[in-house]
Amino acid sequence: MSLPLRKDLDPKLTWDLNLLFKDQESFEKAIVAYQKDLQTISQYQGKLNQEKQLLSMLQLLEKIFAQLTWLNDFGFLGYEVDKNNPVYEENNYKLLAIYDETKKALSFIEVELANLDPNYLQSFVESQSGAAYQRYLDKIYMNREHVLSLEVESALSSINSQLFNQYRLSNVLKYQDLHFEDFTCRGKTYANTFAGFEGDYEVDLDPELRHAAWDSFHQGLAKYQNTAAHLYISHVQTEKAISKLRGYDSVIDYLLSDQEVSREAYDRQIDVIMTHLAPVMQRYAKLLATKHGLSKISLADIKIPYSTQEPKKISIQASRQMIQDALSIFGSEYRQIIERAFEERWIDYPMNQSKSTGGFCSTVYQGPSYILLNWTGLLSEVLVLAHELGHAGHFQLSYQYQKATTPEASLYFIEAPSTANEVFMCHYLLSKDLDDEERANLVGEFISRTYFHNMVTHLLEADFQRKVYLAVDRGENLNAQKLNQFFKETLEQFWQEVVEINPGAELTWMRQPHYYMGLYSYTYSAGLTIGTQIGRKIANHDHETIQAWLDVLKAGGSMKPLDLAKAAGVDMSNDQALRDTIAYVDHLLDYLK
């Protein structure tokens, strides 16, 4: 059965983008108003060495950044749920042009600030009006050695969307060009899609259907692997060229600089998990095989739920009640955010043709936090919703309490609030009156959704991604075969002989968009390391931790990521928190014996 068209969905189950602009005309008028503000900022060029002018520029910059988030979500989110809609596609193209225009117009700011006298900047941030901008100015000053001349920065800004258009093109390939052959199981024919495979077939309890869907899906991917590889390789080579231009020896160091994370912390996160979590998850794979009576377990089986019973479907209304009850522990301010998300239609639930897969949250400055889901009604999807509402709660608080110049925490920290919600949500459900079988099934869901997804799926991506960047740093030529080799090596290293690597598994790099978002994949495990420590304390009603956590959520980008973690009570300067998290996962497996 094929997915419905967007126009055939119940609007009550979709997000309401008219909270941003009432119609297309209002959106286009807002673009014109934005462009006028953008032109105005040029009056400050060459004058940032005057405190009054600097303050005035920063205030206008805040307005521009805030306006841009509203334009971004209206132009971007419509396209994310209906890529076949020509109006949404045109809005997306307009947005790309706006970003290039914005980067070019603002390019003088970083160049001038990087070259100002540090004593002058220090005096400015010590003033009453300038103190709020210290973090923004500090980040630019710390990066000053890698800022180029105004002419070069302006040129790069004006062609940014052309330089980095590979992600957009990969989405065209994934959602508009790539099609899968129908497959047959037990005399019945099934249509295959990205959303259908990832949301239903790969978790289906019928092994014959699961493996038939796997073959159909990966045969479809294989037809487009060379095009997909060309796009991804072009992206990383462009990143390498920019990093070299900015004076970095390694593209990895270039990408980590914006996260304010050391190379040591990055490598440690990947290496510790590949070494110490791998045997724990191999143990999980064996328990899963035993539970389902499988003589051997393969990657086509590894995503199935632990329970052998047909999974219960949870209604949207029931999931809402479940989540609101659990998250009420965070107090009235956080609770109101969650309530608004449901009442004001921030959430887009149903699957439809050409809608992006997976889930995400996108927030406008002092506006809605939009959440994309592909609702299946399974408990795993409830955890996804709790995860995305963790992002929403974080962004709502940070956008309310922080300047638009530094509203968001480092990417390294960004998954901590979302995964903390998952961990706490599972503890909340485990606190209910359950028998041993129910408890084991819930723990199995907890491991497969929260820990497998964030610490295995995304970490394997990260290990693969590191291989690619190291090869680029060495100047090696890459192609689809090399990418396949890298991913297969990662899978074999992690799973050893315990899990069979099915043909097609080497193409897994084609499935996720994270490779086009810098060093994002490894941050899921970093966030979950923090989230595990916080979520467990909150589950024990540690009110001191709850208050500290809310304060950290409000801090946004005003602190470095390791400082945010420390303020919440988690030390990420070494591997102890990560090892504790791995030990906790190993402990959870005891429930599955």
User: Tell me, what's the pLDDT at 451?
Assistant: 97
DSSP 71: H
Q: Report the pLDDT value the prediction gives residue 584, as an integer from 0 to 100.
A: 98
Nearest alpha carbon to residue 536 among 383, 428, 391: 428
**In this predicted model, what pLDDT tens digit does every residue of 488-537 receive, in sequence order?**
999 999 999 999 999 999 999 999 889 999 999 999 999 999 999 999 99
Q: What is the rounded distance in angstroms from the CA atom of residue 416 to the CA atom of residue 534? A: 9
Task: Report CA 362 to chain centroid distance, whole Å.
Answer: 10
Rounded to whole angstroms, the Cα distance separating 348 from 384 reads 13
Rounded CA separation 121/135 (Å): 12
Distances (CA, A) of 134 to 122, 124, 555: 8, 9, 14
CA distances from 473 to 240, 476, 478 (A): 7, 8, 12
What pLDDT sits at residue 372? Answer: 98
Partners of 500 in beta bridges: 298
Q: Give the model's confidence band at 195: pLDDT under 50 very low, under 70 low, under 90 confident, else very high.
A: confident
pLDDT for the residue 2:
80
Position 161 confidence tier, pLDDT thresholds 50, 70, 90: confident
- Is the four-CA dihedral 520, 483, 487, 352 of positive or negative sign? positive
**CB of 213 closer than 8 Å to CB of 183:** yes
Predicted TM-score (pTM) of this structure: 0.95
What beta strand segments (E) does 335-376 contain? 347-348, 360-363, 369-372
Distances (CA, A) of 401 to 61, 507, 548: 17, 43, 15
* Residue 223, token pair as written in the block: 């037809």
Model pLDDT for residues 381-415, shown as the tens digit of each residue? 999 999 999 999 999 999 999 999 999 999 999 99
pLDDT at residue 71 greater than cutoff 80: yes
The C-alpha atoms of residue 257 and residue 410 are separated, in whole angstroms, by 10
Q: Which amino acid is at 244?
A: K
Find the mean pLDDT for residues 265-292.
Answer: 98
Distance CA 462, CA 176 (A): 27
Q: Give tens-digit pLDDT for 99-118.
A: 999 999 999 999 999 999 99
The contacts of residue 545 (CB under 8 Å, 6+ apart) are: 534, 537, 538, 568, 569
- Read off the tokens for 557: 């980008």
C-beta neighbour count of 571 within 10 angstroms: 11
Distances from the Cα of 314 to the Cα of 247, 318, 375, 421, angstroms: 53, 6, 10, 19
Tell me the β-bridge partners of 347. 371
- Nearest 10 degrees: CA dihedral of 84, 88, 92, 93? 80
pLDDT higher than 90, residue 158: no
pLDDT category, 324, cuts 50, 70, 90? very high
The pLDDT tens digits for 369-384 are: 999 999 999 999 999 9
Report which of 82, 3, 568 is spatially closest to residue 372, judged by C-alpha positions: 82
Q: What is the pLDDT of residues 120-154, one digit of tens each?
A: 999 999 999 999 999 999 999 999 999 999 999 99
Domains defined along the chain, listed by start: 9-141 (1.20.140.70)
Please check whether residue 254 is in contact with residue 239, taking contact to mean a CB–CB distance below 8 angstroms.
yes
Q: Give pLDDT, residue 1.
A: 59
User: In 133-168, which positions are buried (b, 16+ CB within 10 angstroms) versus exposed (e)?
Assistant: bbbbbebbeeeeeebbeeeebbebbeebbeebbbeb
User: What one-character DSSP code corresponds to residue 517?
Assistant: S
Is residue 565 predicted with pLDDT exceeding 90? yes
* Measured distance CA(327)–CA(343) in Å, rounded: 16
pLDDT at 176: 87
What separation in angstroms does the CA of 588 have from each of 37, 305, 313, 570?
Answer: 54, 15, 24, 21
